[in-house]
Amino acid sequence: MAHQDNGTPRLAALAFVGAVLGASALVGRRNAPDRSHPGIRRWYARLDKPGYTPPDAAFGAVWPVLETGLAVGGYRLLRRPAGDARNVAVGLWLANSAMVGGWTQLFFRERRLGASAATSAAMVASGAALVWTAAKVDRPAAVLAAPFVGWLGFATLLAGRIWRDNAASGPAPDQ
C-alpha cells in the first residue's frame, strides 16, 4: 500500500514536527548535565548509578537517532488523512515528544528522582500506545517509534534504580 500524502500539507507538517521536537530539545538542552551546567553535572556525577549505566557519550549518540525516528514518524502520521486513529496517533506522538523534555526537567533540574522514574514508566505506556495506534495508520511510523519505547523501558529501569539507590540525596539547592 502506497503512503498517501493527503493529510497535513508537507511544509505545515515539517514546521509542526520541527517546532515540537525543537521545543523538547531546548528544554532537554537546558537541563543537560554537561559543562554548560556545572551544578547539574556535579550533582549527576555524584549520584550512585548502577553498573549498567551507559557512558555519557552513549546518551549523546542514542537520543539523536531516537529523535530522528520520532520526527520522521510524526511527519508520516501528520501526512496521513485525518481520522480518529490518525488523530489519536498524532496526539500520542505529541505527548511523548513533550514528555521527553519534561522528564529532563524533573530529573536533572528539579532532581525529583521518584517523579522522574514514574514519568519514565508513564512514557513507556504512552509510547507503547503510540506504536500500537500508529501501526493502524502508518506502519513505518510505528516501526520508527519502537526503538524509542525500547530505550524508555531501559531508561525506566535505570531511573528506578537511581531513585532507589539515592533516596536520601533529595533535591539540592540551586545550581
**If you write DSSP's letter for every residue of 113-165 in order, what string do you get?**
HHHHHHHHHHHHHHHHHHHHHHHHH-HHHHHHHHHHHHHHHHHHHHHHHHHHH
Question: What residue ranges define each of the domains in the chain, with the CATH number in brackets?
Answer: 10-165 (1.20.1260.100)
Q: Phi, psi (5° rounding) for residue 56?
A: -50, -40
The contacts of residue 20 (CB under 8 Å, 6+ apart) are 74, 94, 97, 98
| Mean pLDDT, all residues of the chain | 90
CA distance 163 to 168: 9
Q: pLDDT tens digit string along 122-133?
A: 999 999 999 999
pTM of the model: 0.86
Q: Quickly state the pLDDT bin for 167 (edges 50, 70, 90).
A: confident
